[in-house]
Amino acid sequence: MALYVRATGGIAPARWKDPDRYITDGERFRIKELLIEGRSIRYVAKVLDRAPSTISREVRRGSAKGTPGEYAPSRARRDAFEKRRRSKELKIPSDPVLHAAVQHGLDEGYSPEQVVGRLRREHPDDPRFHVSHETIYRTIYLQARGGLKRELKALTRTGRTVRHPRRSAQRRRGRIKDMVSIWERPAEALDRGVPGHWEGDLIVGKDGASAIGTVVERRSNYVILVHLDPTKSRVEATRDGLIEKLSTLPATLKATLTRDQGKEMHQHRQVTNMTGIDVYFADPHSPWQRATNENTNGLLRQYFPKGTDLSIHSQEDLDYIADLLNRRPRKRLAFATPYEMIQEYLLR
């Protein structure tokens, strides 16, 4: 994304809300899973309630060699992004009179906001001259591509050649340092045939004052519950709890851990260093990328109702609840239990 933004003068492509006819990221992950299972294009289309031709085109575009076995959700996503960056004629350059009026104001040293205000004052009843200052900025920076960069300083008083969005200091502080996106996660993590890939999250108690860490293995649905020490900060408690529980896993089950971008994972590097498990982060507001964990958290609410104080539960209590879940038959596992799936793998 950073490269795309840089190429467009700092203007990020407008977010779109996908109409039903567009393939979503969640569907791309599902397509990959079904193809790995050897399912046909028609079967995939039936599962996703899509036309076979739609799935066929999606697979072809997202495959390195045009074959289903080479399909990659990240490649398909990039292809869709590029295809939907359609060039649209900008309002100001498409109207010579408006363009001349805006250019005159900029030449006079007006800021874009002053240009907008002046045009509205001079032409109060003519919508043709009613533009926003952001429209002027977009025109300036998008036109700054190529050989126009050197003239850009004459267009804005700051002299910047890339549009920098406003961000509060608080938002900058909240960003997780050195996080690695789920789109860079090994391809085998998407395939439930390979154990050792985990998903993690928190279930939060009353008023957000207490929490329990949850970790679930994707292939077996094996659950680990993590006690978070209420005397520590959420970041320290999450770090220490994960290290204590995940360090005891066999080496063959230490591959990846996918988390959301919660602030409690600020020290994820220490978790990786101490456990040997690489941590990846899902996209914001994308719970479907950690569907196994989301479903498990739903089951756990049977034992940890919302609006209750979760700090009263010791690690022994959590281990007991995890044991109950790990002995519960699962339909997805042909009614085997998570314990049986894990043991089957470890005894090979």
β-partners of residue 220 are none
Q: What would the pLDDT profile of 165-199 be if each residue is shown by its tens digit? A: 555 444 444 578 899 999 889 888 887 888 999 99
Is the distance from CB of 202 to CB of 213 less than 8 angstroms?
Answer: yes
pTM: 0.56
Distance (Å, rounded) from C-alpha 342 to C-alpha 222?
A: 7
Q: What would the pLDDT profile of 224-272 be if each residue is shown by its tens digit? A: 999 999 999 999 999 999 999 999 999 999 999 999 999 999 999 999 9
For residue 24, CA distances in Å to 20, 31, 287 come to: 9, 11, 13
Is the distance from CB of 324 to CB of 299 less than 8 angstroms?
Answer: no
Q: What are phi and psi of 81, to 5 degrees?
A: -60, -45
Enumerate domains of the chain plus CATH numbers. 17-83 (no CATH), 182-346 (3.30.420.10)
For residue 312, CA distances in Å to 137, 176, 235, 287 come to: 54, 29, 19, 27
Q: What would the pLDDT profile of 40-96 be if each residue is shown by its tens digit? A: 999 999 989 898 988 988 888 888 765 556 788 888 888 777 766 555 567 888 888
Distance (Å, rounded) from C-alpha 276 to C-alpha 256?
A: 9
